[in-house]
A and B are shown apart, each in its own frame.
Chain A
Amino acid sequence: MISVKNLKKSFGDLEVLKDINVEIKPKEVVVVIGPSGSGKSTFLRCLNLIESITGGSVEIEGKDITAKKTDINKLRAEVGMVFQQFNLFPHKTVIENITLPMMTVRKWKKEAAIQKAKELLDKVGLKEKADVYPDSLSGGQKQRVAIARALGMEPKVMLFDEPTSALDPEMVGEVLEVMKQLALEGMTMVVVTHEMGFAREVGDRVLFMDEGYIVEENEPQALFGNPQHERTQAFLSKVL
């Protein structure tokens, strides 16, 4: 599904990703953990080219995303992304947030888009909030709308960039619940998070990143129960 080879990324002189290699299979839920500054968010943002790539390659369904003939906008529509800061459009109502990309990118008719958006809002439990502006929502509600907005594009894979880090603790659960549901439905997901419980429960595989490398990867039980690398051990001893 996603194939990353020798991925490198620098900001000026600062090398954030040094050599990333990973294969992500369809329907797989991959959780990326690691200390802050380890490059995990940057890695995620390189997957849909929100961040440009310095070296190496990323293929999504066999398409090299940096190739000249690849229509990056078309490709991004297939890859949903959820941000730490939600990034809802504040000048649009909740339902408009969801229908806008459907109508502009997918060229759906307005009625069809609204119909679909309502279904998605129902799915994330926010049917009654369709016509309010994002400002009046709580953080957890905003993030659920953001997920619904990404799902509106019917993506083949979803990227989550610390989706619960900006939330008050009591709202984390409702967002994770929606994500868990998605995983159960068979969505391919890459999740950068500090929620170890989620990683353990939902993840098929956990990647531990540090200083621009994937230091260790394994199934959650193995990685959390028996970490091999000393840096993984050090990190886990702090967060668990």
Chain B
Amino acid sequence: MIDFRFEIIIEYLPFFMKGMLWTIMMSLIGVLMGTILGFFIALGKMLPSKLLRLPFIWYINFFRGTPLLVQLFLFHFAVLPAILDSVNPIVSVVVTLSLNSAAYVAEIFRAGIQSIDRGQAEAAHSLGMNKIQVMRYVILPQAFRRMIPPLGNEFIVLLKDSSLGAIIAAPELLYWGRAATGQYYRVWEPYLTVALIYLILTLTLTYLLNYVERRFATT
């Protein structure tokens, strides 16, 4: 720590920037797909029939109960090669992150929806609204407000989890940190820089989510 070699950081800065863009892109798609997928899994998990619920319950069990790294390996080396002509680590990371975060998002959605007082749905039904209308106009707007903080948490975790892509050579942020360490055998310069960039990204996300939360609190 006595001698901090800034020239290593400067040399690798363009790579860190490029890696950051991949990190942002993978995370954005992961968040988007995870949220959409998670919503439907949450609905599936709330189906009235026990048998129909089962696949959704096990989807969540699998993705929450096994290491993300192993899931990444499974998709990158087994599942995706069987489906796609050519594998690409970025695609593998995006797919794995989306599916994985969908499991967590599903639980956030379910908890949010079930936290709304039953009287709300009863009142809406008593007025003649159908299930979809009750969900869309009454339950979800209220549930969503409560889901913003845990969703924000999940998005931050997802952003950092995207760094696992480094292991299968997806050229994201941490990948370039490792590459710089590999070249100079120095740990602190690359990793602290990478950590700082992650911090900037997560702080930006945090402020964004706080803004959304305030917006929803006032309407």
Contact = CB atoms under 8 A, between A and B. Distances in A.
Interface of A: 48, 50, 73-81, 83, 85, 87-91, 100-101, 104-105, 146, 149-150, 153
Nearest to B145: A91
B57 interface: no
Contact of B122 (A73, A83, A89): A83
B125 interface: yes
B65 interface: no
A216 B158 CA distance: 64
Contacts of A50: 122, 125-126
Contact of A76 (B125, B137, B138): B125
Interface string B147-191: 000000000000000000000000000000000000000000000
Contacts of B142: 89-91
A91 B216 CA distance: 10
B55 interface: no
Given A87-B120, A104-B133, A81 B141 contact: no
Contacts of B130: 73
A6 to B, nearest CB: 24
B119 A77 contact: no
Contacts of B117: 85, 87
A101 B120 contact: no
B67 interface: no
B106 to A, nearest CB: 23
16 contacts: A50-B122, A50-B125, A50-B126, A73-B125, A78-B128, A81-B123, A83-B126, A85-B117, A89-B123, A89-B138, A100-B137, A101-B128, A104-B133, A146-B123, A150-B127, A153-B127
A99 to B, nearest CB: 11
Interface of B: 117, 119-120, 122-130, 133, 137-138, 141-142, 145, 219
A77 B138 contact: no
A85 B126 CA distance: 14
A104 B130 CA distance: 9
B127 A149 contact: yes
Contacts of A79: 126
